[in-house]
Amino acid sequence: MKLMMAILKKKDCEPVMQALVEDDFRVTRVASTGGFLRQGNVTLLIGTDEEKVESALEIIRTNVEDSDRPDQARATVFVLDVAQFEQL
């Protein structure tokens, strides 16, 4: 099991979330702030099986807009191992 933490610009959140949910990923949205001038960001938490990580990354790549600045990342994604997972 993997936990993906995707940090996106606020404007990219809805298209990314919609595409992930349509492809049967479970997503939790967390408002966050960071970067230059404290821009509004969104952190998406995505729990998934290891074999579906690349599919989720491709969905994110496809649904974030290109940056106005070439040196600025469109999204930052961390992929973490999950030792235990339970739904209660």
Angle between helices 13-22 and 53-63 (to 10 degrees): 140
Contacts of 47 (CB under 8 A, 6+ apart): 1, 2, 3, 4, 26, 82, 85
3-class DSSP assignment, residue 88: coil
Question: What does the pLDDT read at residue 38?
Answer: 60
The percentage of residues in the chain with a pLDDT greater than 90, rounded to a whole number, is 68
Assess contact for 45 and 2: CB atoms under 8 A.
no
What residue has token string 């959140």? 13
- Set out the domains of the chain in order of their start, with CATH numbers: 2-66+74-81 (3.30.70.120)
Band (pLDDT 50/70/90 cuts) for residue 36 is low
Supply the pLDDT for residue 35.
63
At 45, the pLDDT band (50, 70, 90 cuts) reads very high
pLDDT > 70 in the chain, percent: 93
**pLDDT tens string 58-85:** 999 999 988 777 777 889 999 999 999 8
